[in-house]
Amino acid sequence: MGLLDGRTAIITGAASGNGAAIARLLAAEGASVALLDIDGGGAANQAAAISDDTGAPVFGARCDVTHAADVEAAVFQTLETFGRIDVLVNNAGILLDTPLPGLDMTAWERTLAVNLTGPLRFIDTVAPAMIAQGEGGAIINITSIGGSLGFASYAAYCASKAGLMGVTRAAALALAPHRIRVNAVAPGIIHTEMTRGLYADPAALAEITAKIPLGYVGEAVEVAKTVLYLACDLSSYVTGTELTVDAGYVAQ
């Protein structure tokens, strides 16, 4: 018996990194999973690998979270394929340089479109299906320690993740009457394609690792385990909160 037997999950940004690890773990725990990514081929390949390894019903498809039509099509395809949606994980995100002064407004607007408006659009599109099912649901937004800490060269990223936590709280209150729980997971420094540039050389990696209380850079599966907790009934009384997965980084 899995923790998510009989449930269906949508994961955005699922072709690689945290999203792929989340999709794999939720599938292993019994969920049917829709893997969505702007890299549709990557999502399809990841879905095929997860299906081979777990036997779970999964599919991968292209979805640009900044396009309303893509979001609507992805939700429709999930309902057509699996008949329901119980879990939404808003994981898709980008990290673009936005140093100050001299802010690149194109990078600013793109970052907010992907990291903030995209998740909000998905929540707004998925919630009616969850409400109609009448059995509650779980929405998990992937924020970041950057939403509570300042990173000098990434003003847009920090703003988008802080904003996503605000959306999390508001949505948690709005959807609570329908027993739809809305929470966030805030990863710290995790080994993914997005963060690889932060520790591209051994010296940079050593410098970053020295700042992490538990003494190592995390793996994507450690984020996935926290998402699983929020997606399943183990967290039945948890909503409107953010769980930080950073080995103690922000506690300093």
Write out pLDDT tens, residues 58-100.
Answer: 999 999 999 999 999 999 999 999 999 999 999 999 999 999 9
CA angle 119, 161, 116 (to 5 degrees): 30
Residues 6+ apart with CB under 8 A from 35: 11, 14, 15, 19, 20, 23, 43, 44, 46, 47, 50, 58, 59, 60, 61
Q: Is 157 a catalytic residue?
A: yes
Question: Is 152's pLDDT higher than 90?
Answer: no
Domain boundaries, given as residue ranges, for the chain? 8-243
Average pLDDT over residues 187-201: 82
Is the pLDDT confidence value at 198 over 80? no
Residue-level pLDDT at 199: 72
Instruction: Please identify which of the residues 154, 157, 229, 249 carries the catalytic annotation.
Output: 157
**What integer best gives the mean pLDDT of the chain?**
96
- pLDDT class of 117 with cuts at 50, 70, 90: very high
Answer yes or no: is pLDDT of 195 > 80.
no
Per-residue model confidence (pLDDT) at position 112: 98
Confidence of residue 203 (pLDDT cuts 50, 70, 90): confident
CATH T-level assignment (fold) for domain 8-243: Rossmann fold (3.40.50)
- What is the pLDDT at residue 182? 99
